[in-house]
Amino acid sequence: MPYRVCFVCTGNICRSPMAESVFRARVAEAGLADLVEVDSAGTDGWHEGDGADPRTVSVLEAAGYDSDHAARRFQAAWFARLDLVVALDAGHLKALRRLAPTPQDAEKVHLLRSYDPAAHADLDVPDPYYGGMDGFEECLEMVEAASVGMLTAIRTEVEGRTV
């Protein structure tokens, strides 16, 4: 059974689809694409069915990442099939932990930047939606930095399952 990861932000059009694309690329580069499934969603359903924000698409494509995406809202029932739920900021972390059906499900929720050893006290990935392209570029940098540590942690989990 694959290890399943879902990245979650507010509307699932900026930060979480960016994290999904970057992490899916890291998983493929590591040769783990058959063992790790990567997805994303939003805490709210405002943009359900929409593609990623055009600025997200632009930043991803400029960096060589896939940008195919359709927004959707995270559902509490998904906890049963997910191994890791990755929140992009503290607000998402709280919302997801409240939504979790069990204490074990709540323990599956972690902040993305908690996987970045260079990140300090502020572990939020700021929402770039209301700003310019520089916010999207900063978001990509944060996502890429955290993806390295996250891949290391997940690789350990995946290898533990196959031994």
97 is catalytic: no
DSSP result, the chain = --EEEEEEESSSSSHHHHHHHHHHHHHHHTT-TTTEEEEEEESS-TTTT----HHHHHHHHHTT--------B--GGGGGT-SEEEESSHHHHHHHHHH-SSHHHHTTEEEGGGG-TT--S-------TTS-HHHHHHHHHHHHHHHHHHHHHHHHHHHHHH-
Catalytic hit among 44, 72, 127, 155: 127
Catalytic hit among 15, 24, 55, 113: 15
9 is catalytic: yes
Catalytic hit among 9, 39, 105, 116: 9
Catalytic residues: 9, 15, 127
